[in-house]
A and B are shown apart, each in its own frame.
Chain A
Amino acid sequence: MAIKKTNYTASQLMVTAAARELADEEVVFVGMRLPILGFLLAKSTHAPNAIGIYELGVVRDTVAPESILTMGDLPNLYRSQWLADTADLMGLLQQGLVDVSFIGGAQVDRFGNLNTTYIGGPEEIATRLPGSGGACDLASLAKRHIIIMAHQKRRFVPKVDYITSAGYGDGAGWRERVGLLRGGPSTVITTLGILRFDPETREMVLASVHPGVTVEQVLENTGWPLKVADEVTQTPAPTEAELEMLDQFDPHRYWTS
């Protein structure tokens, strides 16, 4: 991508942006990969009292004592607040006790619906992806969810081939009509910028571009005429302190290279 030479990578910027979406004392359903780092960064900076829920059955209110590559690593179990059954954690989610969750996407559309199952759709499968995991549940039941993904035209499509994890369906009022009680995507953090959703129409709107990225580049890499906010801001770059922390959490830069 056309990001200028900087002292940080696109992944580090995305993780930092993800961390900034979390408020202190929120209950966070963490998800896989970059969101784990985003949660750890938020816990170590402005959200020390956030609670992390990991769907395999871990609830943590502290940062793991060593770096972890994935949620099942044993340091993530050490002195956790609760080791439990997945269904118990899904019950917290279903009751409306989870403030925010993170979901990675392969294909997203203008209303924030996500496909991580069938590219091409189930009848004419072009690519089979791993599937929902907990993503469908997080998108259905958290108070809000944050999508993190690469910004490419083939991924940002007018309408997804298959809805694995519901966004706002076909627009305003859709979630209510299908019976979802709450939630929906609040933010999409991509390799190029940050997008949010119009509160009236529920359509995705470009809110900020990352340093070195232009609005035109974002439009070129989006598969529909993307709405742009009246005042597009620039995503703040990660600070030195944040980058140092990220290097502790991901010392071999497995996720942040």
Chain B
Amino acid sequence: MPKSKLFSLSEAISRFVSDGSEVALGCAQESLIPFAAGHELIRQRKRDLTLIGPISDILFDQLIGAGCVRKIRAAWVGNVITGSSYNFRYAVEQGQLEMEDHSNLTISMALRAGAMGVPFMPARTALGSDLFKTNSSLKTLVCPFTGDTLTAIAAINPDVTIVHLQRADEYGNAHMWGNLGITREACLASRHIILTAEEIVDPDVISSDPNRVITPGFRVSAVAHAPWGGHPSPVPGFYNRDHQGFIDYRESSKTAEIFADWQSQWVDAVRSSDDYLKLLGEDRVAALALKHHALSEAADYGY
């Protein structure tokens, strides 16, 4: 039997994320954002991280506000339903963050180049834009076959990719469903992968449907059980998006003082998913539950 990779969330983060690590997270964009794992980075007072992602719906802002971040390599950082996010905005305006400005296509291709083991990928996006001025991973290139002008996007190989998903076994085999964003590329490009899962299940559950596996278990470094670990983002099959969580966060991040209160209440005082659920309260948890289940037909993998 392979070795179990099941750790507590705290142990998974302390073993595989160091100060200065390049960490990809929130790669499914609006869904399945690894908030519980991100909050553990804050509790462990990680410093000088580089955060990599497509768009980040408030999690990057939280890590920036908590002082964990030195550099951002991403396409968009904010709060999807309210607009700008304050910690990010102020940190950039005050020159405290190094920025590498991507688009969703260029960050996908940077990670895909990493995943493919090549130094860059070509694309046709961003030509003529000023992304070239604020992203040294972008250069123009003349296609050796057609003579077309293309954008070359340098490979990114994160130290760690953190993914929140629905179910995993203790060996790192896991199912993820819903919109996937750039999760696949990020995992394949990454030196280490940490999975946080709503459920830890028997390996037979995962191997019954290998097409739903997001990345092969042998590449995964750690699995941690983190029920409600994606809240307030939606987790298909488990809970809906908590819009109020995002709206409230806007107010909770307006100044450094208010943010410090938010961090102490919602991050530092939370030691477990039970603590977090108590903080949310039964009514709110119940309101986010799925009201209409919609199971897929089983697929026959027989021989």
Contacts and interface: CB of A to CB of B under 8 A. Distances in A.
B29 A165 contact: no
B80 A87 contact: no
A109 interface: no
B18 interface: no
Interface stretch (B124-132, B161-169, B263-271, B272-280): B124-132
B179 A133 contact: no
A58 interface: yes
Given A86-B108, A166-B127, A73 B234 contact: yes
Contact of A55 (B29, B127, B130): B29
B81 A166 contact: no
B128 A180 contact: yes
A72 B76 contact: no
Given A57-B179, A71-B30, A141-B125, A131 B76 contact: yes
A90 B104 contact: yes
Nearest to B247: A254
Interface in B47-94: 54-55, 74-78, 80-81, 83-85, 88-89, 92-93
B179 A83 contact: yes
Contacts of B131: 132, 136, 164
B85 A130 contact: yes
Nearest to A125: B93
Contacts of A163: 128-130
- Which size bracket describes the interface of A in this complex? 35 or more
Interface string A143-180: 00000000000000000001111100100001100111
B75 A132 contact: yes
Contact of A136 (B77, B89, B109, B129): B129
A30 interface: no
A163 B132 CA distance: 10
A189 interface: no
Given A72-B29, A132-B104, A179-B150, A77 B178 contact: yes
A217 interface: no
Contacts of A137: 103-105, 125-126
B116 to A, nearest CB: 12
B128 A56 contact: no
A114 to B, nearest CB: 10
B102 to A, nearest CB: 7
A242 B123 CA distance: 40
Contacts of A48: none
A84 B185 CA distance: 12
B104 A72 contact: no
Interface stretch (B37-45, B195-203, B221-229, B235-243): B235-243
Given A72-B234, A85-B182, A87-B108, A132 B83 contact: no
Contacts of A169: 128
Contacts of B93: 125-128
Contacts of A117: 101, 130, 134
A122 interface: yes
B143 to A, nearest CB: 10
A55 B104 contact: yes
Contact of A131 (B30, B74, B181): B74
Interface string A111-144: 0000001100010011111111111110011000
B129 to A, nearest CB: 5
B104 A134 contact: yes
B149 interface: yes
Contacts of B181: 56-57, 85-86
A239 interface: no
Interface in B101-142: 101-106, 108-109, 112, 123-131, 133-134, 140
Contacts of B290: 74
B178 A87 contact: no
Contacts of B74: 131
Given A70-B241, A132-B102, A87 B112 contact: yes
B191 interface: no
B184 interface: yes
A32 interface: yes
25 contacts: A72-B234, A74-B241, A78-B292, A78-B294, A83-B178, A83-B180, A85-B181, A86-B181, A87-B185, A128-B89, A130-B88, A131-B102, A132-B103, A132-B104, A133-B76, A134-B104, A134-B105, A136-B126, A141-B105, A141-B124, A163-B129, A166-B128, A178-B128, A179-B124, A254-B81
The 3 A-B residue pairs with the shortest CB-CB distance, nearest first, are A72-B30, A179-B149, A57-B179
Given A57-B29, A83-B179, A127-B93, 16 more contacts: A57-B178, A72-B234, A74-B240, A86-B29, A86-B108, A87-B112, A94-B105, A94-B125, A128-B93, A133-B75, A136-B103, A137-B105, A141-B124, A141-B125, A164-B131, A165-B129
